[in-house]
Chain A
């Protein structure tokens, strides 16, 4: 064997994969730019259809935020396994000694960072369009976004792997993922509405707890299910 070799652990392998995915995205910027353009465009469209005298900013902003997050996530998730399929890079990963679970976790970490980068632009833009103050409430909204992203990415990464080998991958991913996004988005939307309306934290906590529970369930279930999606 070539020098000293030691099969890398799950987290090391996962980070290698995430780093590789992000390096590819950094070079090409295809998915990032399309997701970013979508996010900004959606914010603009919602803004120009908003009548402030009928709906307050606190009521409108969370809805816009979650629509933008859900659909820009789909653009990123689509890309996640498409880059593996092009020249069958996935085969080299599967032949290597890394575990299937590490592959899933690596892909998910890459997707969370990708989505986080979109939100880094989308959240300030949302605050700007809807006159939201960058205070404690926005920090809590950022935390809710992070929790929601984890749940969405956990599900989306699994379905992205399942859909990539099918003829209708671009249609199949949203069809499979969106129903499973609902519990995450519902909790996140409820929590963020309350935070932006200035409701006490005691009314937000129950939604956050459910959101965290969904995240844990989805992470565990999808990590266990993932190896089966790779069996031909």
Chain B
């Protein structure tokens, strides 16, 4: 069987803020249908890595290619990326439908209204589509935000703690949506603190500490029962080493 195509390729990616190196020489490659769960303690550089891959931050070194195209220089590469973040990235004065339709138009979809309806339906929020975003609860806003991010059916989806603020219905809708995206060939990069949540969805798992990927496994090679303990040991061990080096 021919290997599935590479959806996103990250090579030698670094990002510094002044003298602090938040992301330090990260190499990653995600094929269509892959889902990489990225774990790490606070301040490990996970969100920075995601923002660099999304094109929101300029890398200090290295490059990101989506579908073989350089992300920063090619609009067609950016058109294949969807970002779900802590912030809703919505306009509160507009309705849920208007927000998603606006995104659909930015991506040049042929029928933005139908695409918006489909995305809202997938996130099980069509019944509140005509309510202004400011009138929705935090969890419902998050669902609209996810609908906005996937309205153009991206081939690379970057998710930063996407389950935050979602109730059981919202979480189930998101998991179904992510499974659907994977089955249609999208590659997912999921940043999360929850090891169980990440392992349930992912095909691969990685641990990031102090800007570097320190461990990277296929899910098949992981014992889900012991991974959480191994992850904690790595983080605590690094914390102890950092404290000792300061002392």
B-contacting residues of A (Cβ < 8 Å)?
Answer: 1-8, 13, 16, 20, 23-24, 27-28, 83, 86-89, 91-99, 231-232
Interface contact A20-B102, CB-CB below 8 Å: yes
Interface contact A5-B108, CB-CB below 8 Å: yes
Given the known inter-chain contacts A7-B76, A16-B102, A232-B56, please indicate yes or no for A97 contacting B107, CB distance below 8 A: yes
A-contacting residues of B (Cβ < 8 Å)?
Answer: 54-58, 75-76, 78-83, 85, 87-94, 98, 102-111, 114-115, 118, 132, 148-149, 151-153, 155
Given the known inter-chain contacts A23-B98, A86-B92, A95-B83, please indicate yes or no for A8 contacting B115, CB distance below 8 A: no
For residue A8, which residues in chain B have a CB less than 8 angstroms away from its CB? 105-106, 108
For residue B110, which residues in chain A have a CB less than 8 angstroms away from its CB? 3-6
Number of A-B contacts (CB under 8 A): 108
Within the assembled complex, what's the spacing in Å between the Cα atoms of A38 and B148? 37
Within the assembled complex, what's the spacing in Å between the Cα atoms of A232 and B102? 25
Counting chain B CB atoms within 10 Å of each CB, the highest count among A27, A89, A91, A95 belongs to: A95
Question: In angstroms, how far is the closest chain A Cβ from the Cβ of B111?
Answer: 6
Question: In angstroms, how far is the closest chain B Cβ from the Cβ of A150?
Answer: 25
Interface contact B89-A16, CB-CB below 8 Å: no
Within the assembled complex, what's the spacing in Å between the Cα atoms of A140 and B78? 45
Question: In angstroms, how far is the closest chain B Cβ from the Cβ of A118?
Answer: 19
For residue A3, which residues in chain B have a CB less than 8 angstroms away from its CB? 109-111, 114-115
Within the assembled complex, what's the spacing in Å between the Cα atoms of A92 and B51? 11
Interface contact B75-A91, CB-CB below 8 Å: no
For residue B94, which residues in chain A have a CB less than 8 angstroms away from its CB? 20, 23-24, 27
Interface contact B152-A89, CB-CB below 8 Å: no
Counting chain B CB atoms within 10 Å of each CB, the highest count among A4, A13, A83, A232 belongs to: A232
Within the assembled complex, what's the spacing in Å between the Cα atoms of A97 and B98? 19
| Contact sample, A vs B, 30 pairs, CB 8 Å cutoff | A1-B79, A1-B80, A1-B152, A1-B153, A2-B152, A2-B153, A3-B115, A8-B106, A20-B91, A20-B102, A23-B98, A24-B94, A27-B94, A83-B91, A87-B90, A92-B83, A92-B89, A92-B103, A95-B55, A95-B78, A96-B79, A96-B103, A96-B106, A96-B107, A97-B78, A97-B108, A98-B106, A99-B75, A231-B58, A232-B56
